[in-house]
Structure 1
């Protein structure tokens, strides 16, 4: 508890600032900073796998370049539930409807568990076919398949923890998920090299034999990730059931409610479409990337991992804008939500543009952190330099789409995502890859970043996100109300 309170003194929790009144910059900062760190920890899972497998084998590195987009696709298929839960919790919290927020969180957990189990089974039995269609080479296919089979079996834990983070964020608590994620990542980073490379100790008499971990290669990286996420989910559920921090969930509210499911689907389906648009773009681009040598595939994997780190501030602030918009829409203060979005877009454009310049000048050393293959380093450096100077535009798009989602306009955010990835990035890569080689793929990233930001900004200025209120027409909760004296769960 002492560590928790010291962390809170630095970051501040939801009990120390009001998202619906007062200044905008400070609460948004204190809301977003833990999200930045949480996302950094989450990215550390992938970076740890990328680093250790890069030392282990180039084919294994190429294999996770195929595996990560499929992981993203599986999670994206169900992410609408977590987005819907976060939006509902945020709007009900802003409207001071605590009971409704708790019911929304409880139902979200129930349906998230069911969806993740179904998706995990589908992923396990379809992984090899999927990766073959994506163009994985004969050397890479068995490695990527073994990785994804383990991930599919553990999808419940990976997706479940993401839901915990979303629900706590909707309430305004971003510190607790950050601390839970920290412990999980440390455990994963420690476990990774032991399972990938193996570790044995030969014992002398009288206890003759060996103890330790067998060399599991890429499968070991997947086991380490799933096991770490499982521990994080257990801790997250314990926190939400206790209700001492963030939104509380109750067993009495977790019986599947088909009426509420329709509501979650109505809000969340477009968010799943948005996530799938991003994931399908990554996978379709892999079809093009797979036409090139494994060195290009590995470079693509490293580059996208670097982008995932660079865009952490954009993703974090967008999540903060989503929460602020949701709570202010619930409190009937749309002007305040709009000011938060504009401030975030401006700050992100400046910060990410500066970061882009730094990446442009240090592309080769960055690539060298992940691989010792000089050919992969050279190709990765080219990829990073083509995209780096457009980083600021990603910040603009992320800020405004976050506001769309917080207002419940998940369909608009989905449409913008599909437009950017499906109608701009992929077609450019498809037609440019033949005459320009892999350079055409890198160019598609840069162009889609700029065009996507311009279109998103123009759409936001129309003001259609102000229409409607998700807290209207709420589910009747009388039948679930429990007298406090009954002891709750």
Structure 2
């Protein structure tokens, strides 16, 4: 083992979390600034543009789900093969990453370009908002190759315990985005005033900058063509639960947008603003998810189920404490959070009540979102996917529709009730972990 490298089998869980999590949190903090900064500047241009960003947001989540989920599959498979001392197989898995990123980007870009006008039409009745949705959505989706490559290469580096270079890449990418946003949106320094188009261009340039930084160390030589099938099967056997979990956000947020649109465009805007802030406050939880996957996968490969349990319980404690801080913010300063983006009095009225109720869901959400990545890491994709489907398909949208029948104020109860039920189901599934012989999560 190289000097300073983390020993997943022996180091204390808290030592690993405190060493691995801060760089990931810093990187995700910077990543969160992409959407927050775009919304901040666009909110000063027009309320219609802010609503358009909220409408496009589910598609951006789907894009991230495909990119990051594929990367998580690579990350988990590499950690497994490293755990059983098969470094060549780990390198083969990494080598599949770059061509895979290209293919999934190309398919996603083509589909989004074609469906964007239809998506805009079913999302709003405002012609102005529709035009903004098409302009912004086509640019951030069609030119998203930087995000796909960066996500894959980042997960390859993280599987080896390298959190610093991905953090550096995302910091630089975000700085590029933040610097370009006012220049291109407002037309500063003699540049054309592009409005929402400028925000989209700034975003994709920042993503490309981040990808270029991790490219050298994240790129592995692709293996022989005959090696692709077994590696892709491993990647998506392990990565599909994460893709489902992330892409489910797309569909349930789209569904919730449709429900809120029956009340007003301002209600849709509030939901979009919540998810902007949620991205920021969920950074600690996202870092824990990223960190525990290779830790658990490595120890599970060595059949150390007791240590796997220990990692999960410590992650629960850390997640609950950190998410509790988010709850306090949503309870005590919701108006300040909303005014950061919008000064519309109706958005403020709806948002303050909504933020109060949603904030109560944060602590149980730390549990409900850690269980799926745990099951993913131990090669139980059915349980991981089942939790995601229960949470997003059977709870979020149906409960949202049900509570909306009683009025907009009751709609927000969807969040805490969904997370409590999902956590309970996760605990029921977890009770059987370790009772049976461990199964191999990857085909060797």
Tell me the residue number matched to 2:238.
Answer: 267
Deviation larger for 84-93 or 344-353: 344-353
| Distance change in 2, residues 1:406/1:142 (3 Å) | same
Whole-Å separation in 2 of the counterparts to 1:310 and 1:123? 29
Instruction: Establish whether residue 144 from structure 1 lines up as the match of residue 114 from structure 2.
Output: no
- The question of whether the paired residues in 1 share the 8 Å contact of 2:26 and 2:167 is answered with yes
| Distance change in 2, residues 1:274/1:390 (3 Å) | closer
Choose which of 64, 78, 85 in structure 2 pairs with 1:75.
64
- The question of whether the paired residues in 2 share the 8 Å contact of 1:326 and 1:406 is answered with yes
- What are the superposed Cα offsets for residues 243-269 of structure 1, whole Å, 9 maximum, x if unpaired? xxxxxx124568872333233333333
**Computing the radius of gyration over CA atoms, which structure comes out larger, 1 or 2?**
1
Whole-Å separation in 1 of the counterparts to 2:231 and 2:367? 33
Tell me the residue number matched to 1:196.
Answer: 185
Choose which of 410, 432, 454 in structure 1 pairs with 2:424.
454
**RMSD value, Cα:** 2.1
Whole-Å separation in 2 of the counterparts to 1:267 and 1:321? 14
Whole-Å separation in 1 of the counterparts to 2:352 and 2:135? 29
Whole-Å separation in 2 of the counterparts to 1:466 and 1:176? 37
**Number of corresponding residues:** 442
Whole-Å separation in 2 of the counterparts to 1:16 and 1:179? 19
- What are the superposed Cα offsets for residues 84-136 of structure 1, whole Å, 9 maximum, x if unpaired? 11110111222232221111011122212111111111111111112322346
- The question of whether the paired residues in 2 share the 8 Å contact of 1:151 and 1:222 is answered with yes
Instruction: Establish whether residue 347 from structure 1 lines up as the match of residue 318 from structure 2.
Output: yes
- The question of whether the paired residues in 2 share the 8 Å contact of 1:135 and 1:286 is answered with no
TM-score (normalizing by structure 2): 0.94
Q: Which runs of 5+ in 1 are unaligned?
A: 1-12, 201-211, 242-248, 475-489
Whole-Å separation in 1 of the counterparts to 2:196 and 2:25? 28
| Residues 2-13 of structure 1 aligned to structure 2 (within 5 Å) | none
Whole-Å separation in 2 of the counterparts to 1:301 and 1:14? 45
- The question of whether the paired residues in 1 share the 8 Å contact of 2:63 and 2:108 is answered with yes
Partner of 1:316, secondary structure, is helix
Whole-Å separation in 1 of the counterparts to 2:116 and 2:291? 34
Tell me the residue number matched to 2:354.
Answer: 383
Partner of 1:328, secondary structure, is helix
Whole-Å separation in 2 of the counterparts to 1:106 and 1:136? 46
Tell me the residue number matched to 2:115.
Answer: 126
Choose which of 221, 230, 255 in structure 1 pairs with 2:208.
230
- The question of whether the paired residues in 2 share the 8 Å contact of 1:60 and 1:218 is answered with yes
Partner of 1:390, secondary structure, is helix
| Distance change in 2, residues 1:153/1:466 (3 Å) | farther
| Distance change in 2, residues 1:419/1:137 (3 Å) | farther
Partner of 1:338, secondary structure, is helix
Instruction: Establish whether residue 87 from structure 1 lines up as the match of residue 76 from structure 2.
Output: yes
Whole-Å separation in 1 of the counterparts to 2:432 and 2:156? 29
Q: Which runs of 5+ in 2 are unaligned?
A: none
Whole-Å separation in 1 of the counterparts to 2:240 and 2:289? 19
Whole-Å separation in 2 of the counterparts to 1:94 and 1:231? 33
Q: CA deviation at 1:30?
A: 0.9
Q: CA deviation at 1:14?
A: 8.7
| Residues 56-455 of structure 1 aligned to structure 2 (within 5 Å) | 56-77=45-66, 79-135=68-124, 137-200=126-189, 212-241=190-219, 249-251=220-222, 257-437=228-408, 439-455=409-425
- The question of whether the paired residues in 1 share the 8 Å contact of 2:77 and 2:238 is answered with no
Whole-Å separation in 2 of the counterparts to 1:350 and 1:300? 25
Partner of 1:15, secondary structure, is coil
| Distance change in 2, residues 1:351/1:260 (3 Å) | closer
TM-score (normalizing by structure 1): 0.86
- The question of whether the paired residues in 1 share the 8 Å contact of 2:74 and 2:94 is answered with yes
Whole-Å separation in 1 of the counterparts to 2:95 and 2:43? 41
| Distance change in 2, residues 1:42/1:154 (3 Å) | same
Q: CA deviation at 1:367?
A: 1.3
Whole-Å separation in 2 of the counterparts to 1:19 and 1:28? 11
Partner of 2:4, secondary structure, is helix
Whole-Å separation in 2 of the counterparts to 1:351 and 1:259? 39
